[in-house]
Structure 1
């Protein structure tokens, strides 16, 4: 699907979009699209195309709109995302060129049973956290099922999120990550950014390259293993990086139900297993998870 506004520049060339000149803030330079394509799009690799638009509502919606005609490995990146979506239809917005806002199209095909496709957002979380640790020097934790947490002033803050949506014969996975946001730009006090977490670099080009290479590495291992989370070591890696495990949590489930207990494991289907006070372990496949302080009386802020 073509970008929603005629002012968008898929090639990354000069454009006067909604935010004015793409060079209007040299502290937040635009992506080097040519360099990104040269580094990531290669014969035999996962990434088959990479487009950057100045501004769009949602990269997930745009990429999903291409339908089955888009090849696996299509990557759509936005300098600015005005109507980004998270789980439960929550909105995600940030200043132009202040973060990584992108979506990718993955088509596991017959090599991975459909029932294992639910691991894709968790796989992406592991890949992003691994890449940020290496490229930005920031310890990034995972909050089940799809939040990325960093530590700011001794507190866990949400700095990113992942949204996976089934589209035809594939899955569109979107990532939104705050990179250079200052404290006065945060959408809510509990949010964070790589800048506030003390990242060694805020240059989005190497960060995006690192993240997409990490996604490719984990995805190929998972697909080669037939989607087996154990054989690909994905389940092990997710558990090691998941800050939800071992915590007292409140699960706000569909239908208004609430479950409180200790998060004890992530099972083979990617569900969070919660141990309740009556000794029962219940797997949760969907819902909103709140980390509780010791005693379970109040939220920890994420």
Structure 2
């Protein structure tokens, strides 16, 4: 089931001792346990996109809690169909299958679809919590799906989240975190990695375990609350760690429209509320840019 085989044209996974391969068997023993969300975990040497692969598995009936990890993604996808790649074993590149529209354990009922928009934000909270504990870094959240670290005195992106609906009851969530990338390997100048941000913990095995356990915890709370972000304290926790709130932002919206103003809140459906010249408007999709303060500010 798990492959450590080296694809043609790639280097031996042990050729870089600073980037050893993940131990799939140990990971599976640690997270696929009775009572946990995770039902299966597979590690592949390389793939185009873990989200695409796991969506195909979901269509074939894969159960909730299936996890697919890749040591390398050759066609990784972000929001707005952005593409990115990273050196093999330089980060965490994985997807998980959740089925919030189906019955949960212990008699839980399906979560209403209008609350599924919280899943990327929930994942951000879970990842940030895990990185704080396991990597020893403070991770901020940029609405709706970016993970930020401070490096060289500036906020820089170290990871991202992509949620895609599959079928009637499922969502595949892809997570990418730059762990050991060096400056010359960064995809864009505004990116960073755990290593470049001075994280004391960069061993990918415990980092992945911590993220999956944290996601299990937050997803369980959310499901028990029927997806209500206030009952499970998700909205409060997200707001506390969100670097977007209180900032001047520009939202580039579908259809070429733009909205500028102050990000003042996240509403009950996970949308960003922006106060602008025409009052407050809730943004559910788009690209949000943090604007630098003016010299007068």
* TM-score computed with the length of structure 1 as normaliser: 0.92
* CA offset digits 1:123-176 (Å, max 9, x no partner): 000000000001001110000000000000110000100000000120000001
SS in 2 for 1:229: coil
Match of 1:101 in 2: 93
Which of 235-244 and 61-70 deviates more?
61-70
Unaligned runs of 5+ in 2: 103-108
SS in 2 for 1:111: coil
Corresponding position: 1:53 with 2:44 = yes
* TM-score computed with the length of structure 2 as normaliser: 0.94
Pair 23,17 (structure 1): closer, same or farther in 2 beyond 3 Å: farther
The 8 Å contact of residues 4 and 44 in structure 2, kept in 1 or not, is answered as no
Which of 113-122 and 75-84 deviates more?
113-122
User: Partners in 1 of 2:99 and 2:113 — Cα distance?
Assistant: 10
User: Partners in 1 of 2:284 and 2:117 — Cα distance?
Assistant: 10
SS in 2 for 1:55: coil
The 8 Å contact of residues 12 and 32 in structure 1, kept in 2 or not, is answered as no
* CA offset digits 1:65-115 (Å, max 9, x no partner): 111510000000000001000000001210000000000000112431111
Matched ranges for 1:1-302 at <5 A: 10-66=1-57, 67-108=59-100, 109=102, 110-168=109-167, 169-278=169-278, 280-295=279-294
User: Partners in 1 of 2:226 and 2:122 — Cα distance?
Assistant: 14
Pair 14,62 (structure 1): closer, same or farther in 2 beyond 3 Å: closer
The 8 Å contact of residues 249 and 296 in structure 1, kept in 2 or not, is answered as no
User: Partners in 2 of 1:151 and 1:18 — Cα distance?
Assistant: 35
Pair 68,120 (structure 1): closer, same or farther in 2 beyond 3 Å: farther
The 8 Å contact of residues 67 and 95 in structure 2, kept in 1 or not, is answered as yes
User: Partners in 1 of 2:4 and 2:175 — Cα distance?
Assistant: 23
CA RMSD of aligned residues (A): 1.4
SS in 2 for 1:173: strand
* CA offset digits 1:13-51 (Å, max 9, x no partner): 353554221211111000011110010001221000000
Which of 14-23 and 286-295 deviates more?
14-23
User: Partners in 1 of 2:259 and 2:41 — Cα distance?
Assistant: 42
Query: Matched residue pairs, number?
Result: 287
Which of 269-278 and 209-218 deviates more?
269-278
Match of 1:7 in 2: none
User: Partners in 1 of 2:178 and 2:291 — Cα distance?
Assistant: 24
User: Partners in 1 of 2:49 and 2:31 — Cα distance?
Assistant: 22
The 8 Å contact of residues 137 and 199 in structure 1, kept in 2 or not, is answered as yes
User: Partners in 2 of 1:211 and 1:218 — Cα distance?
Assistant: 11
Pair 68,267 (structure 1): closer, same or farther in 2 beyond 3 Å: farther
User: Partners in 1 of 2:222 and 2:52 — Cα distance?
Assistant: 25
